[in-house]
Structure 1
Amino acid sequence: MNDTFSDNHQIGIVSTFSELINTDFYGEVNAMCWYRHLDGDFKEIVSKLQLKENITEVSAEDLLALQLSEKGNTAREIILTDLQLLAEFGALPSLNLLKNYERDEEFDFISTDVYSYHVDRSPIGTDTFLCTYYGAASDILPNDQAVQKIQIPEIQEKLRELHDGPEDEFDNFLKEYFFDLHYQAKPNARPTNLGLGHLWRLAVDHPAQKVLPCVHRAPVENEGEYRLLLIC
């Protein structure tokens, strides 16, 4: 067991998919981890997939069409099983071969792309699931180690200038453009890297949620290396 996970009050550790989907978040725990050591050669799968765009969705049919070694086939079976488990649960999993995400360069004082610490929001009760099979993995951050960017005085001041409208519409403006979803790590913050092979369930901001949403970010990709990521 990774001590970084077991010692982290933000993370709950489970050992089956059933536990992953049925264990409630509570207190500070807003990230649930199905902790796994996966066999198989995921690098082989990445090397044989075709990147069509910076983010290419890979179907089950794409995976099944690959000619793979025994270890590559083991990795493929793991991915197909994960996709099936999530689909049967009612989620809509997507397997992505990823070169990089689009960067948000519109404003120099605030970033709203996925490389920025952020939370997910949904109008209905749902969670975010993700697993990195290959490449750089995402980070999460305890909520008390992050500050909402719109609460930082100099950023809020520039957002008010950008809004240039009635004060009573400012909060709606922040939500409309997703500014309120983004966070900045506090000095001495200690992010946790989610690692490879573990299937994670992260709390989302929605009306029925009993815990704070999980603050997370996409990693900067390793030079010359694609990521293979399951997300929904």
Structure 2
Amino acid sequence: MTNALADHAQISVVSNFSELINANFQGDQNAICWHRSLLGDFKEIVAKLELKENMTEVSVEDLLMLQLSEKANLARNVILSDIQQLTDFGASPSLNLLKNYERDDELDFISTDVYSYHIDRSPIETDTFLCTYHGPASEILPHDQVEQKILIPEIREKLKKLYDGPEAEFEAFLEEYFFDLHYQPKPNSKPVNLGSGHLWRLAVDHPTQQVLPCVHRAPMENDGEYRLLLIC
């Protein structure tokens, strides 16, 4: 899989955490992957964690309280190490047990939930880190394979009718309700699945960012299967 990922212009593949945090985004490249094959039984951890509602944040204490087999203990140590390294770096990692995210079905012509291709935005210099330990993984697309939804004429017209305010403030309205963050894949687009166990760093839209932010989306979950995801 390493070679396949390296073939994508938007992806840089590295071999350790230090390279992951020190590599620079450049050109079309806005996703960096610490590619790894993890040992351990992550499925057992998922089975022993308690899901509250559709998403539960799992603390380090929650992990440490689990009675696990030797293989699942290896998996726990990987997660704890990832959390520690990201915390030492200055990030605020969150380990989530997911049945599903909230859906945005209020408008039938545009979706703004995480299942829609979108970018992340921040007022400060930061990146998005994520790793799927169990369950389906997120997908990314390069900018030449997507179109910003607010630029699609029929969607834009419907948003203007929804807004019904001063023309000069329309763009601010689009930002306020996050419509401008979402993208439509073009015909014949080829998403890259982020896979299981790899720790990713994705470019975010902020004032000092030198590259285009990474367009990504959450996967549709499999019935009866929870995701275990580290994100910050």
Work out whether the TM-score is over 0.5. yes
> 1:42 maps to what in 2?
42
**Number of the residue aligned with 1:192:** 192
Q: Residue 45 of structure 1: CA displacement?
A: 0.2
> Is contact 2:59–2:95 with CA below 8 Å preserved after alignment?
yes
**Correspondence for 1:110:** 110
CA distance in 1, matches of 2:24, 2:205: 15
Pair 1:76 & 2:76 matched: yes
Residue 214 of structure 1: how far off its partner (Å): 0.1
Partners of 1:13 and 1:114 in 2: how far apart?
25
Aligned mates of 2:17, 2:228 — CA distance in 1: 20
CA contact (8 A) 1:4 1:192 kept: no
TM-score, length-scaled by structure 2: 0.99
In 2, distance between residues paired with 1:52 and 1:40?
25
Q: What stretches of structure 1 move > 2 A for 4+ residues in a row?
A: 1-4
> How far apart are 1:6 and its partner, in Å?
1.6
1:222 to partner: Cα distance: 1.0
Per-residue CA deviations over 1:73-132 (Å, capped at 9, x if unaligned) read 000000000000000000000000000000001100000000000000000000000000
DSSP-derived class of the 1:229 partner: strand
Spell out, residue by residue over 1:1-20, the C-alpha distance to the aligned partner (whole angstroms, 9 max, x if none). 43431211110000110110
TM-score (norm 1): 0.99
In 2, the alpha carbon distance for the partners of 1:3 and 1:179 equals: 35
Q: Which residue of 2 aligns with 1:30?
A: 30
Match for residue 175 of structure 1? 175
By how many angstroms is 1:178 displaced? 0.2
Instruction: Quote the Cα distance in structure 2 between the aligned partners of 1:4 and 1:115.
Output: 24
Distance (Å, rounded) in 2 between the aligned partners of 1:4 and 1:174: 37
Partner residue, 1:119:
119
CA RMSD of superposed structures (Å): 0.6
Decide whether the 8 Å contact of 2:2 with 2:13 is kept in 1: no
3-state SS, counterpart of residue 21 of structure 2: helix
The match for 2:89 is 89
Does structure 2 conserve the Cα–Cα contact (< 8 Å) formed by 1:48 and 1:66?
yes
The amino acid of 1:211's aligned partner reads V
Q: Percent identity?
A: 73
CA distance in 2, matches of 1:209, 1:158: 31
Residue segments in structure 2 that go unaligned for 5+ positions in a row: none
Letter aligned with residue 2 of structure 1: T
Tell me how far apart the structure 2 counterparts of residues 151 and 20 of structure 1 sit (CA, whole Å). Answer: 34
Contact 2:141 2:216 in 1 (8 A): yes
Q: Secondary structure of 2:212's partner?
A: coil
Q: Which amino acid aligns with 2:26?
A: Y
CA distance in 1, matches of 2:106, 2:75: 39
2:145 and 2:93 map into 1 onto residues whose CA distance is 30
- Structure 1: give runs of 5+ residues left out of the alignment: none
The alignment of Structure 1 onto Structure 2 pairs a total of residues equal to 232
